[in-house]
Structure 1
Amino acid sequence: MTLTRLTALVVIVSLLFLCGTIDTEARHPHRHHRSPKNTISAPPTGAPLYSPPTAASNASSNSTNSMPPSSSPGAPIPTPAPTSANSYLLFDVLAYGAVGNGVSDDTEAFKTAWDSACQEMNPSMISVPKGYSFLIKSTIFVGPCQNIMIFQVDGTIVAPSEPDLWPVNSRRNWLIFYKADGLTIRGGGLIDGRGEKWWELPCKPHKAKNGSASHGPCDSPVALRFFSSSNVTVDGLKVQDSPQFHFRFDQCRYVTVSSLQIRSPALSPNTDGIHVEGSENVLIHNSVISNGDDCVSIGAGSLNIHIENVTCGPGHGISIGSLGKQNSRACVANVTVRNAVIRHSDNGVRIKTWQGGSGSVSAVTFDNIHMDTVRNPIIIDQYYCLSKSCQNQTSNLFVSGVSYRNIKGTYDVRSPPVHFGCSDSVPCTNITVSEVELLPATGQIISDPFCWNVYGMAQTMTIPPLLCLQEGLPRSIMDIDSNKCY
C-alpha cells in the first residue's frame, strides 16, 4: 500500500467515525454492548496487478479463472486473473474467496476484489453473482481507481443481523465508497441492512407498545454512503431495512440515481430513503421509496438537485432540511421536484429550518405532484424543533423563490393542507402557488390554510383558497437579502 492510500484512509476514517454524521430527528442515551474485535476492513492492500497471460498460458487460465483460490492451511491465497465480460475485466467475488452462504464473513473477499479491480488500468467489473447471499461487515471501498468501475450486484448482500455483532468503532456506516469517481453500482440484486434489531434499541425515536415515546443519540449505520465522489451512477438496486438512512451522498458531484426500490417498515425510525448533503448536480428519478422517514432529504450545501418520477410512501415525504441546527449556516438552491406521487405520508413537500440558523433556501420548484391521503401536503416550517424547550430566536434561514405548481390530491384532515409557518424576523418571500387542489380524504369540509409571515401570490384559484399570502415584500427585505448564499 502506498503512503498516499494510507493517508486517504486516515482522512476518511477520521471524517466518518470521529465526527457526527447524521442529523436525525431524535436522539437519546446509547446502550453499550460488547462487540467482536473485528473492525472496519483494511483499505486496498496493494494486491499484484493483473498481467495479461501469454499465448501459451491462455488455455490453463481460462479453465481456472472461475474457481475459488486454494484454501489449503498456510498456503497464500493467489490473486485470480480477471476474465473478460463485454470489454470489462471481470472480478467475480467468488474467485476471491467469497462463500455466499449468508453466514460466512465475505468482507475480505469483496475488499480484495475491489482492490484488484481498482488498480487495473482497463475498465473493470466486480461481479456479485445471483443465487448467493454475501455477509459483509462495515467496510470502506477506497478510491480513486485507475479506471471505470462497475459494481454489478445480482445476488444478495446482507449486513450483520445484531447490533452486538458490529464493532463499536464502526457502527455509523456499513458500505462506504470514498473517492469512487466514475463508479457505477447496478443490478437487480438486493442489499439488506437487516435493521430490525437496531430499530428496537431505546436510543431510537420510536413509539413503544405502551404508547410512550423514546429518543436520544444512537450510532446506527447508514447502509450505503458515498463520500467525496464524482460521476457516480446507482441503478436498478433493491435496498431494504437499513438501520438508518438507506443512501447518503456527502460532498459528491454529478450523481445519477435511477430505478431504485427502497423499502422499510412505515414505523422504522430515521430510515430516510436517500439523503443528499453538501452535494451538487444530483439527479434522482424513476424510483419507488417506502420507508419510515423522509423519502428524499436534502441537507445543507446542496445545489442543483433534480427529483423526478419518484413514488414515495408511506413515510415523511420529500424534505429540504432540517437546516440551521445549533445556529449553523446552511445553503440550498436550485431544487426541482417534478412528476412525483406521495402516498399515506406525514408530509408531502416540506422545507424545515431551526430557529437561530442562517443562510438561505432559494429557487425551489415543486411541480406536478399527486398527494394521496397526506397529512401535511405543503409545508414550510421555520420553527422546527424536537422538544418543547426550543426558544424563538431572532435569526433564521431566508426562504425565497419557492414555486408550487399543479399539486393535487387528498389530505389527512388532522392538519391543514397548506402550512406556511415562517420566521417572525425573517419572512418567507416570493412564494408562488398555482393549480393547487387539495381535498379532504374524508368528509366534506375543506380546512383553511395556515400562513404566518409569508409573502407571495396565488397565480390561479386554489383549493383551499390561499388568501392569507401577503402581497409584495416586507420592509426588512434589504436586511434579509444579506442572508442569501447565492
Structure 2
Amino acid sequence: MHRNETIGSKIAKSLVDLEARRCCHYFAGFKLLLSAGFACCDLVPLVVQEANGCTARRGKHWRQSRQTSASLSKKKGSHGGSKSHHVSGSNPKAPPSHNASPSSPIPPKPKEEIIPTPPKKGYKGSDSVIFNVLDFGAKGNGESDDTKAFEDAWVAACKVEGSTVMVPADYVFFVGPISFSGPYCQPDIVFQLDGTIMAPTDHRTWGKGLLQWIQFTKLIGVTIRGSGIIDGRGSVWWQDSSFDEPIDDEMKLIIPMNKTRDEAKPTPVGSNLEGKIPSIKPTALRFYGSFNVTVTGITIQNSPQCHLKFDNCVGVLVHDISVSSPGNSPNTDGIHLQNSKDVLIHSTSLSCGDDCVSIQTGCSNIYIHNVNCWPGHGISIGSLGKDNTKACVSNITVRDVTMHNTMNGVRIKTWQGGSGSVQNVLFSNIQMSEVQLPIVIDQFYCDKAKCSNQTSGVAQSGIDYEKIRGTYTVKPVHFACSDNQPCRDVTLTTIELKPLQERYHLHDPFCWQTFGELKTPTSPPIGCLQIGKPSSNRVQYEENDSR
C-alpha cells in the first residue's frame, strides 16, 4: 500500500508539475488548469509553489505577450523547486521539505501578492519591441501637453530596428509641432496609431507659422498604421483665411458676365485660437526624404492646409485611409505629392476643400486607383511652372475613381512662362457625378483675376482619356493649350458626359491648340479637337529644353 501510495503521489506531483507549466505558459500565473480526477485541495499547494515564479507582469498601460510570458518561466528543479526569474522586489518561494510524506505535501507559508511595476522604456511584443507613449509620461486626456512624451518614445524606438511606437486607443493626445527624424534611426519603425492626436490652437505654439505639424524625415521603411485619428482642428485657421488661389481658370468659367462672384467664406466650427493667426498654415502630416513609406488605416481630418504630403520620397504606399474636411475649407488638399516617385495610392476616401490628390513637379511613376473623391477639386497634376520655373511630371495613371460634387474631375494645370513637360498620363474608368468641369487641361493657369501673357509654357503630350462617364454642371471638356506649346497626342476614348439638367445654362466643349485623336465617338461630340499633330512645334522634354 505504501508503494502504491508513493507511486500515486509521484504521478499526482508529475501531473501538478505539468499543469503548473501549462499555467505558466498560457495563463501567466493567474489561473490553474485542474486535471480531471484530482481534487482542487490536492493540487493547489504544489501549483501555488510551482507557478508563483511565473506570475505575469501587470500594469495599467502594459500588456505582456504570450511569447514573452513564456520566456519568463524556467525549467523546474529535480525536487520541484522553482528556478524562475523573479521581478525585482519579490522573493523566491522555499522548496518543500524533502522529509515530508509524498502523499501529504506541506503547503508554503502564504505571502502577500506583489504586483510588479510595468516597464517604462519599451517591452517585447509579439512582433517587435513596443514603446508605448503612456510609459513615457503621456496623459492622453486631451488637455495635457504630450509632445515631450511622444519625442522621448520616438528617441527610444529610433535605436531599435523594427520597433513600434504605440499610440493606444481610447486616449486623446494633445501634441504640438513635432518631427520624428532620422537619418540615424534604425529601419522599419512602425508608428501604431490607434488613439487620437489633436493639434494645439494656441497661437503661441505656432509662432509666426510653421509649414507642417507632424513630420517624418529621412527614414527607411517607416509605417504609420492603425485605426486612429490625426485631427488638425483647422477651423480656427480657415475663418480668416483667404484662398491662396482665389480665382483660377476654371472658376473664371463660372463667373457671371459682370465679373463678380459671391465668395462664401468657410464657416468655422469654433475658434480657440487667441491672438493673431499665423499667415502660414501647416500641413497636418508630412513625409520628407524617406524611402519605402506606408500609411494605412488612419483618418486625417480638418487640417489647416494640406492633410498628407510626400516630398522627396521614393516608394510610397497609401491605402485604406480617410481624409475629411469641409468642402469649403481653403487649400486643404487630401494627398499632395512633390518630387516623389514610385507611389501607389488605392482604396482611399478623400473629402476636402481642394484637390483630392495633387501631383506636383518632380513626380513620376504614380499609380492611383479605387479612390473616392468628394467633395473637393478632383485629381490634379499641377499647378506647374509658377514663376518661370521648370517642372517635369511623367508616367501617371489614375483609374477606377469615383467623383461626386467636385469642382473638377481630372485636371492638368500649368502656368504661363514655365518650362518642362507633362508626359504619359492615363485617366481611365472615371465615374463623374455632378462635377462642374470633368476634363480639364489649362496652360493658362492663374491665381489672380488677371495674369500677364507669356509665350513659354510647360509642354504636354501623351495624355489619354478613356471610359470617363457621368454628369456635369458647367462644361464637359476644357482644353486650353499654349500657342507656342500646343498639347500633343491627346486621345479620347468612350467619353460619355451628360448635363445634370438639360435646361441649365451649359457650355459646349472647348479646345484651343489641342492635337490628338478621337478613338471613338464621344458624348457630347468634341469636334474642337484638332486631329493629328501640330506642324511647327516640338514637345519640350526634360532632357531637351529647346522648342
Same-fold status (TM-score > 0.5): yes
Instruction: Work out which structure has the larger RCO, using CA pairs closer than 8 Å and 6 or more positions apart in sequence.
Output: 1
Q: Does 1:432 align with 2:485?
A: no
Which deviations, in whole Å up to 9, do the C-alpha atoms of 1:270-316 show, x marking residues without a partner?
A: 00000000000011110000110000000000010111100001110
After TM superposition, the score normalised by the length of structure 2 is 0.72
Question: Aligned-pair distance for 1:467?
Answer: 1.5
Question: For 2:416 and 2:295, how far apart are their aligned partners in 1?
Answer: 35
User: Residues 204 and 375 (structure 1 numbering): CA distance in 2 closer, same or farther, change over 3 Å?
Assistant: closer
Query: Aligned residue for 2:229?
Result: 190
2:87 alignment partner, SS class: helix
What corresponds to 2:174 in structure 1? Answer: 135
User: Are 1:179 and 2:240 matched, yes or no?
Assistant: no
Contact (CA 8 Å) 2:356, 2:378: kept in 1 or not? Answer: yes
- Runs of 4+ in structure 1 displaced over 6 angstroms? 52-58
CA change 1:332–1:423 in 2 (3 A) is: same
**Within the alignment, does 1:280 sit opposite 2:341 as a pair?**
yes
CA distance in 2 between partners of 1:382 and 1:429 (Å)? 13
8 Å contact from structure 2 (residues 416, 444) kept in 1 = yes
Q: Which of 371, 393, 416 is matched with 2:475 structurally?
A: 416
The change in CA–CA distance for 1:296 and 1:479 in structure 2 (over 3 A counts) is: closer
Matched residue, 1:59: 87
Alpha-carbon displacement from aligned partner over 1:193-235 (angstroms, at most 9, x marks no partner): 000010012455599xx945799x9300100000000100000
Alignment of 1:437-452 (within 5 A): 437-443=496-502, 447-452=507-512
- Contact 1:159-1:193 at 8 Å conserved across structures: yes
Residues in 2 aligned to 1:408 and 1:191: alpha-carbon distance in whole angstroms: 34
Query: How far, CA to CA, are the matches of 2:155 and 2:244 in structure 1?
Result: 38
1:172, distance to aligned residue in structure 2 (A) = 1.8
Q: How many equivalent pairs are there?
A: 416
SS in 2 for 1:321: strand
Residue 128 (structure 2) pairs with residue 88 (structure 1): yes
Measure how far apart 1:431 and its partner are.
0.2
- Mean Cα displacement is larger for which, 435-444 or 366-375? 435-444
| Counterparts of 2:499 and 2:145, CA distance in 1 | 52
For 2:236 and 2:312, locate their aligned partners in 1 and report how far apart those are by CA, in whole Å.
30
Match of 1:259? 320
Q: Which residue of 1 aligns with 2:60?
A: none
CA–CA distance in 2 between the matches of 1:433 and 1:177? 40
Counterpart pick for 1:293 among 350, 354, 373: 354
Match of 2:41 in 1: none
The reply on whether 1:160 has 2:180 as its aligned counterpart is: no
Measure the CA separation in 1 of the matches of 2:206 and 2:392. Answer: 35
Instruction: Give the partner amino acid of 2:174.
Output: L
Give the distance between the partners of 1:58 and 1:229, measured in 2 at CA.
Answer: 43
Q: Are the equivalent residues in 1 in contact too, given 2:209–2:279 (CA < 8 A)?
A: no
- Corresponding position of 1:380: 441
> What is the DSSP-based 3-state SS (H/G/I as helix, E as strand, rest coil) of the residue aligned with 2:148?
helix
1:40 paired residue number: none
| Residue of structure 1 equivalent to 2:528 | 468
Whether the aligned pair in 1 keeps the contact of 2:383 and 2:445 (CA below 8 Å) is: yes
1:346 to 407, 411, 414: 407
Task: State the secondary structure of the residue aligned to 1:110.
Answer: helix
1 CA distance for matches of 2:241 and 2:215?
Answer: 26
The answer (yes or no) to whether the contact 1:423–1:453 under 8 Å persists in 2 is yes
Aligned-pair distance for 1:81?
3.3
Matching residue of 1:39: none
Gap regions ≥5 residues in structure 2: 1-70, 75-83, 90-114, 247-260, 267-277
Instruction: Give the distance between the partners of 2:449 and 2:334, measured in 1 at CA.
Output: 28
Structure 2 Cα separation of the partners of residues 442 and 483 of structure 1? 47
In the superposition, relative to structure 1, how do residues 206 and 380 fare at CA in structure 2: closer, same or farther (>3 Å)? closer
Which has the higher mean CA deviation after the structures are superposed, 290-299 or 217-226? 217-226
Q: Residues 235 and 473 from structure 1, CA distance in 2 versus in 1: closer, same or farther, beyond 3 angstroms?
A: same
Alignment CA distance shift 1:482-1:187 (3 Å): closer
- Residue 98 (structure 1) aligned to one of 109, 117, 138: 138
Q: Please, which runs of 5 or more residues in structure 1 have no aligned partner?
A: 1-51, 67-79
Deviates more, 1:421-430 or 1:145-154: 145-154
Could you tell me whether the CA contact under 8 Å between 1:96 and 1:109 is conserved in 2?
yes
Residue 349 (structure 2) pairs with residue 310 (structure 1) = no
1:316-364 CA-partner distances (Å, limit 9, x unpaired)? 0000000000000000000000100011000000000000000000000
1:398, 1:483 within 8 Å by CA — same for their partners in 2? no
Distance 2:130 2:539 in 1: 59
The residue identity in structure 2 corresponding to 1:274 is I
Q: CA deviation at 1:448?
A: 2.2
After superposition, the CA RMSD in angstroms is: 2.6
Given candidates 181, 186, 194, the residue that maps to 1:146 is: 186
Classify 1:268/1:437 alpha carbon distance in 2 versus 1 (closer, same or farther; 3 Å). same
Q: TM-score, normalised by structure 1?
A: 0.81
The answer as to whether partners of 1:65 and 1:83 remain within 8 angstroms in 2 is: no
Instruction: Report the CA distance between 1:466 and its aligned residue.
Output: 1.5
The answer for the alignment partner of 1:113 in structure 2 is: 153
Residues 285 and 307, structure 1, Cα contact 8 Å, conserved in 2 = yes
Residue 476 (structure 1) shift = 2.2
Deviation, 1:481, is 5.4
Q: Matched residue of 2:531: which SS? A: coil
Q: Name the structure where strand makes up a greater proportion of residues.
A: 1
1:141-197 per-position Cα deviation (integer Å, ceiling 9, x unaligned): 1113213211000000000134x1423255221001011210010000111000001
* Contact 1:206–1:214 (CA under 8 A) maintained in structure 2: no
